[in-house]
C-alpha cells in the first residue's frame, strides 16, 4: 500500500551541477510534479545553493505551459481547481514566511488549472510547503552545511517513499543513502522505478513492497538504492 511521499532531493557541494539540475528537472516535473515519487524538497549545500537555484530557475523559465495535447507544451494543467488552490496556498505561505521566488509563483491568467513552474529559495524549515506533498511544479530550496544536517532535514517528514542524492563521492552517496528513512533512494539518478526492483516506502508512505524479490515473497520494509556512477 503506497500512500504518498515528500521526497527530498539532496545536492552535495561536490556534485556535478549540470547533472544535478538535469536530474532535478526530471525528478521534480515528472507528470508536471503530480507524482508520488516527484522531488518535493530540495536540500542543497550552502556553498552551491545560489548557483544551483539560479540554474534550476533558468531551466524552469524555459518551459512552455499549455494544454497537454498542444504541440510544444512542456507543462500541462493540474488536475482540478482544488489542487491549483493548494499549490498556490503553499507557495504564498512560504513567501509570507520569508522565501523568495526566482521564477513563477503564480497561476497564469488563462483558462484552465495551470500553475507556472516555480523555484523558491530561502524557504524556512517550518514552512508548510516542506511538510506537505505539493503535487505541482514547485521547487522549494533549503540549505545545509554538514551531511548529518542534510540527513536530518531529509528525514524531517512523516513520509518516506523515495529520496534523491547527488554527490561526486560514491562513499558519501552510499553512506547518506543508507541513513535516509525512505524505501527507495536514487543516487545521481532522478528515477528509481524498475520492474526488477521492489517499490514501496516507510513511515506514512505505506507498508510492504511490490515488484522484485521482496514484493513477491513477503511484506518487507527493505531499502532499495539505485546508483548511477
Give me the active site residues, please: 2, 36
185 Cβ contact list (under 8 Å, min separation 6): 162, 163, 164, 165, 177, 192, 223, 224, 225, 226
DSSP letter, residue 92: H
Cα→Cα distances 29→6, 35, 172, Å: 14, 8, 26
49 Cβ contact list (under 8 Å, min separation 6): 121, 141, 143
How far is residue 86's CA from residue 89's CA, in Å, rounded to a whole number? 5
Specify whether the CB–CB gap between 123 and 99 falls below 8 A: yes
Grid cell in block for residue 14: 561536490
Q: Which of 144, 151, 211 is nearest to 181 (CA)?
A: 151
Amino acid at each position: 500500500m503506497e500512500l504518498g511521499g515528500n521526497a527530498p532531493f539532496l545536492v552535495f557541494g561536490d556534485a556535478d551541477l549540470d547533472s544535478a539540475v538535469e536530474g532535478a528537472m526530471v525528478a521534480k516535473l515528472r507528470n508536471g510534479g503530480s507524482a508520488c515519487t516527484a522531488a518535493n524538497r530540495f536540500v542543497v549545500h550552502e556553498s552551491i545553493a545560489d548557483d544551483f537555484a539560479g540554474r534550476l530557475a533558468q531551466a524552469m523559465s524555459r518551459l512552455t505551459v499549455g494544454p497537454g495535447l498542444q504541440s510544444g507544451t512542456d507543462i500541462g494543467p493540474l488536475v482540478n481547481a482544488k489542487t491549483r488552490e493548494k499549490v498556490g496556498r503553499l507557495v504564498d505561505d512560504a513567501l509570507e514566511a520569508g522565501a523568495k521566488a526566482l521564477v513563477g509563483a503564480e497561476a497564469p491568467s488563462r483558462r484552465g488549472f495551470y500553475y507556472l513552474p516555480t523555484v523558491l529559495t530561502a524557504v524556512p524549515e517550518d514552512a508548510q510547503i516542506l511538510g506537505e506533498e505539493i503535487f505541482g511544479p514547485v521547487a522549494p530550496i533549503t540549505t545545509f552545511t554538514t551531511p548529518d544536517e542534510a540527513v536530518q532535514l531529509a528525514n524531517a517528514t512523516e513520509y518516506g517513499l523515495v529520496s534523491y542524492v547527488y554527490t561526486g563521492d560514491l562513499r558519501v552517496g552510499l553512506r547518506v543513502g543508507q541513513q535516509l528513512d525512505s524505501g527507495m533512494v536514487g543516487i545521481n539518478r532522478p528515477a528509481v522505478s524498475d520492474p526488477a526492483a521492489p517499490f514501496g516506502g516507510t513511515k506514512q508512505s505505506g507498508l510492504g513492497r511490490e515488484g522484485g524479490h521482496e514484493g513477491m515473497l513477503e511484506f518487507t520494509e527493505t531499502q532499495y538504492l539505485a546508483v548511477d556512477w
